[in-house]
Amino acid sequence: MDLATTCTTCPYCGVGCGVVATVKDERLIAVAGDPSHPANQGRLCVKGSTLVETQGHESRMLVPSVDGVDVDWSTATREVADRFMKIIDQHGPDSVAFYLSGQLLTEDYYVANKLMKGFVGSGNVDTNSRLCMASAVAAHKRAFGEDIVACDYEDLDTADLIVLVGSNAAWTHPVAYQRIVNAVKNRGTEVVVIDPRSTSSCDIATLHLALKPGSDVALFNGLLTYLNQNDLCDHDFIEMATDNVENCFQAAQLSIIEVSAATHLPIDLVTRFYECFGGTRKTVTIFSQGVNQSVAGTDKCNAIINCHLATGRIGIKGAGPFSITGQPNAMGGREVGGMANQLAAHMDFTTQHIAAVQEFWGARNIATAPGAKAVDLFDKMALGEIKAVWIMATNPAVSLPDTAQVKKALTRCELVVVSDTVQRNDTLEFADIMLPARGWGEKDGTVTNSERCISRQRQVLPAPVSARADWQIITDVAHAMGFQKAFAFESAYEIFKEHAALSGHKNSGKRLFDISSLADISKTEYDELQPFTWPIKKKPFEDNRFSTASGRAFFVAVTPGVAAQATNAEYPLVLNTGRLRDQWHTMTRTGTSSKLFAHQSQPLIEVSLSDAEQYGVNADDLIQLSSRQGSLVSRVKVTETLQPGQLFMPIHWNEQFASTGSVGQLFSRAVDPISGQPELKHAAVKFEPVKTTCWARVFSQETLPRSSLMNFQYWVRKPVADGGWEFECAIEESDETNQGGVAESSVNSGIVNKNSVFKSIASLQAQLKKLFPGCHIQNYRDSVSQVHRCMGFHAGKLIYSLVSGPSLSELTSLSLPYQLIPEQSQWRGLTNLAGNRAAASPLVCTCFEVTKAEIESALEMGSETLSELGKALKCGTNCGSCVPEINQLIRQHTKTAEQNRYQEVAR
C-alpha cells in the first residue's frame, strides 16, 4: 500500500505547530514536525509526537442517539431542530444557547455563530475560550480598540529580554519555549519568570520573581512608575500614538518599597527586574492563564500592556505584549465572533456593526445585544432561564468552576445536546441528544494560532461512517430549522470564503482583522493554502495606528484588586491550578495513551516542604482538600517548587479517571467583571490527612465500571501499554463514609473495617469475574504482610490481576511469584504487576521513555551534563520538553554529591 503524507496542524495547544502526517492503509502511522511551518519549523513536543497513539476508535461516539436510543442522522437532526424551535417559540431566542470550544475549526465556529446570532436571534454563544484568554481579549479591546495580539513567534527570536508572566511555557507551549531556549543560547536573550511557583520555565531564567499570588497589577504598576520616574518612557511614541497616559501614571503610583510589600518580593529583586526591563528596548512580555484566570485578569493584562505602550515597545521587531492562547483555535473563535460579547469578524454589538453583519448575512432576526458569558450562561441554565443548550467539543462539567453548579444546571436544562468525538465524558452524562463528530485527522478547515497565523487542518484519515464534521451537523440543523438559503454550504471551503468576505465587509481599514483578499480563492488554492499571518504582510501597529476611533492606543488606568476567595483561619492556604507537560485539557484525547500518563499518572496535590512538615503529611499520603465550594481526596506530592501556604493541582482529571473528579469543584463562580473570565488560579483551601485501611491495585484488560469502585473513597485509573487499565484504590480507615453496605450500627469498630474491606475487595473480584467470565482464577495470600493477590487467566494468558493489602508501599514494592504466571503471557501490564521499580519510576523523557530512576543511575555512574546524559540515554535529545527536569536532576545530584563530600571532610 502507498504511503500518503499530508501537511496539517497539531490539535493541542495554541502554538499551532505544523504536522506532517503519514498514513498507510487508512491508518496514521507517523507524525513529524513540518519543517516549512513558521510556528514550529519542524519541531513537535511530546503531545504532538504521540498523535499516532490517540487516534483509535475504541472510545469514540459512533452513532447519534436521542434520549438514550440510537437513531439515524436525519432523526437526530430533526429532533435537535424541532426541540430547539419549540423552546424558542415558547420562551424566546434567549432561552437557548450554544457552548463552543477552541477545539473547533474556524469554519465550524463560523456557522455556529451565524446560526445563533444571525438566525435564532440570541447572543447566547459562548466558548470554553472564556476560561482561557477572555481577559486578554478584553484588555486588547480596551487598549487597542480591537482584539489584536501584538507579537508573533519571530519576535521571540529577536528579543533581548523575554518576560514570562503567569506562564509555564516550558510545559504549556513547549515548542514556543524551545524558541526562547534557542534565543538564550544563540544571542544571550535574558529571561525573567514571574510566577508564584518555580516551574520548569525557570530553568533558563536570569530572574524568577515568585510573587504573592494575584499581585501582578502592583508589580506592573510599580514598573510603570519606575519607567516614568527614571525617564525611561518613549515620550515621542506616547505623544504621537496614545491617550490617557497621565491618568494611568496617576493610578499606577507605587514605590518599589510598596511593590515589595504588595508582592512579598525582596526590594533588590524588584529593582533588578525594573532595571532589566527599563534598559532593554527589545522586550517581549508573554502572558497567559496565570494572568488571565483572575477576577482582575483584564486589569492585569492592561497593566502589562501599559508598560509596553509607555516605552513604545509595540509594533516593532522583537518587542511587544504577547498573549499566548491555550487552545489550538481559540484565536479562530475570536475571529468569527464565537464569544458572547462579540458579533462576528471582530465586530461588536454596535448599531453600525449589527447593521453591517445583518446586511451581509441577510439575517432577519439578528441578535442586538451580547449574550451570556460561560459562567453566567450556566447560571441561567440552573435558574431555568436557558432551557436548551448545544455543547460542542468541550467538557464544561469538568472545566468550569463550581462543577456542582454546572451539573445542577445541566440537570435542570430541558434539552442538552452534545456533539463530541468521545462516547463518554462527564458532560455527556447529562446529554439528551448525542451527536458523533469527526475528530482531528478527519476534518477539513482552518485554525489560527497564538500569533494570528492561519493554517489548514487537513483530513488525513477516513472518518467513522456515522461521524460528521461539526460545520455539517450545524448546517443540517440550520436547514431543518428552515434556514436553507443562508446555510447553503457544501464544504468547509465555501464557509471559509464567506468568513473571509465578511472580514472585509464595511471595513475600509478600520479593523485589522481583514482577510477578504482570500474571499475569492479557488478550491485548489484553499486546499493548498500555506500558513499565513494576518494582518497580511504587515506587523500589527507598525504604523503606530490602532483600531480605536481616534486611531490611538489607550492607557487603561488600573489599580490592584483582591482575590475573590480570601484566605482566613479556616481556609488558610491558596490553591493554584494548571496543566501538566504530557496531558491535555480533560483527557478526552490524551487519556488513551499510556505513554502520556508515565510522566504523572495521578492528580497529585502539590504541597510545599514546609506545609508538609507543618501538617504532618508525606509524599503519597492521601489528603482531603476542601474549599468553601467543595472537597476532594487525592495523593500528595511534596515539592520545593511552591512557597509555603500555596498548593497546586493539575486541571486534567475528572470523574472518568479518578474519584476526585475535577479540581474545578473547589473554585467559586467569581469572574472578572469585564471579561467574565473565572478565577481558576486562586481558591482558599485547607487540607487534612486521610487515614487508609486498605489499598488495592487492579490490572485489567478492560476498564471497570465506576459503580464497582463506589466502595473506595479514592481511586484513579490509567491506561497501560499494550492495552488494558490499571486502577489504584483506597478505603478510608473510618467506614462512616463507606457506602458499601456495611452495617451502620457497627460504625467505627475494627470489625466493621475488616468487613468493609472484605466487602469492597469482594465486590471488585465479583466485577472482574463478571467482566471476564470463564477465567481460571488463582489466589495467593501472604498471612504476614496481609497482601492478597487474585489473578484471572484465560487460554493461558493473564487477563486481570487484583492485589490488595493494608499499605500502598506493600503493593508497589511487591515482587510477584513468577511461577504463577505462564510464560506465554504477553500482556505487558505484568511488568508493573511484578513491581518493577524502574517501570514504576516516572518518565522524564517521554520521547525515548527514559525514567527518573534511569537518569539518576546514569548520574551515579558518572554522567555529569545534559549532553552526556543525552549520549548515554538519548533523553532530552528530541523535543526538549524534558530538558528542564533533566537539568533539575543534574542540579540535585551535584548538590547531594557536594553535601556528601562536605560531610566526609567534616568526619
Q: Which residues bind ligand SF4 (CB under 6 A)?
A: 10, 12-13, 15-17, 40, 44-45, 47-48, 173-175
Nearer to ligand SF4, 83 or 599 (CB): 599
Least separation in angstroms between residue 162's CB and ligand SF4 is 17
Nearer to ligand SF4, 12 or 715 (CB): 12
Q: Can you list the alpha helix ranges (DSSP code H) found in 8-105? A: 46-49, 73-91
- Integer Cα distance of 178 and 454 in angstroms: 21
Q: Which amino acid is at 175?
A: V
Least separation in angstroms between residue 425's CB and ligand SF4 is 20
Contact 546, 553 (CB under 8 A): yes
- Integer Cα distance of 821 and 832 in angstroms: 14
All residues at 6 or more sequence positions from 202 whose CB lies less than 8 Å from its CB, including other chains? 193, 195, 208, 884
Task: Identify the H or E element spanning 877.
Answer: none
Nearer to ligand SF4, 48 or 664 (CB): 48
Least separation in angstroms between residue 30's CB and ligand SF4 is 14
Nearer to ligand SF4, 112 or 175 (CB): 175
Least separation in angstroms between residue 46's CB and ligand SF4 is 7
- Integer Cα distance of 55 and 579 in angstroms: 22
All residues at 6 or more sequence positions from 882 whose CB lies less than 8 Å from its CB, including other chains? 46, 581, 844, 845, 846, 847, 850, 875, 876
Q: Find the farthest-apart pair of alpha carbons in the chain and give their distance in angstroms, rounded.
A: 88
Least separation in angstroms between residue 855's CB and ligand SF4 is 22
- Do the strands 714-719 and 843-845 form a parallel or antiparallel pair, or are they unpaired? unpaired
Alpha-carbon Rg for the chain, nearest whole angstrom, is: 28
Least separation in angstroms between residue 9's CB and ligand SF4 is 8
Least separation in angstroms between residue 365's CB and ligand SF4 is 38
Least separation in angstroms between residue 702's CB and ligand SF4 is 30
The two counts, helices (H) then strands (E), for the chain are: 31, 34
Nearer to ligand SF4, 49 or 124 (CB): 49
Neighbours of 815 (CB within 10 A): 10
* Cβ neighbourhood burial of 629 (10 Å; 0-12, 13-18, 19+): buried
Nearer to ligand SF4, 16 or 278 (CB): 16
Residue nearest to ligand SF4 (CB): 48
Q: Which amino acid is at 490?
A: E
Contact 739, 711 (CB under 8 A): yes
Nearer to ligand SF4, 22 or 631 (CB): 22
Nearer to ligand SF4, 156 or 410 (CB): 156
Least separation in angstroms between residue 510's CB and ligand SF4 is 32
Least separation in angstroms between residue 879's CB and ligand SF4 is 8
Least separation in angstroms between residue 106's CB and ligand SF4 is 16
Nearer to ligand SF4, 135 or 878 (CB): 878
Nearer to ligand SF4, 212 or 589 (CB): 589
Phi, psi values for residue 869, rounded to 5° = -65, -40
Residue 153 is placed in which grid cell?
513567534
Phi/psi region, residue 120 (left: phi>0; alpha: psi -120 to 50; beta: rest), is alpha
Least separation in angstroms between residue 595's CB and ligand SF4 is 14
DSSP 231-268: T-S-HHHHHHHEE-HHHHHHHH---HHHHHHHHT--HH
All residues at 6 or more sequence positions from 452 whose CB lies less than 8 Å from its CB, including other chains? 148, 149, 152, 331, 533, 534, 535, 540
Nearer to ligand SF4, 172 or 548 (CB): 172
Tell me the HSE value of 405 on the side-chain side, using a 13 A CA sphere: 23
Least separation in angstroms between residue 36's CB and ligand SF4 is 15
Phi, psi values for residue 694, rounded to 5° = -155, 140
Least separation in angstroms between residue 584's CB and ligand SF4 is 7
- Integer Cα distance of 781 and 285 in angstroms: 60
Nearer to ligand SF4, 39 or 663 (CB): 39
Nearer to ligand SF4, 41 or 244 (CB): 41
Nearer to ligand SF4, 228 or 592 (CB): 592
CA neighbor of 555 nearest in space, from 246, 217, 218: 246
Phi, psi values for residue 473, rounded to 5° = -60, -45
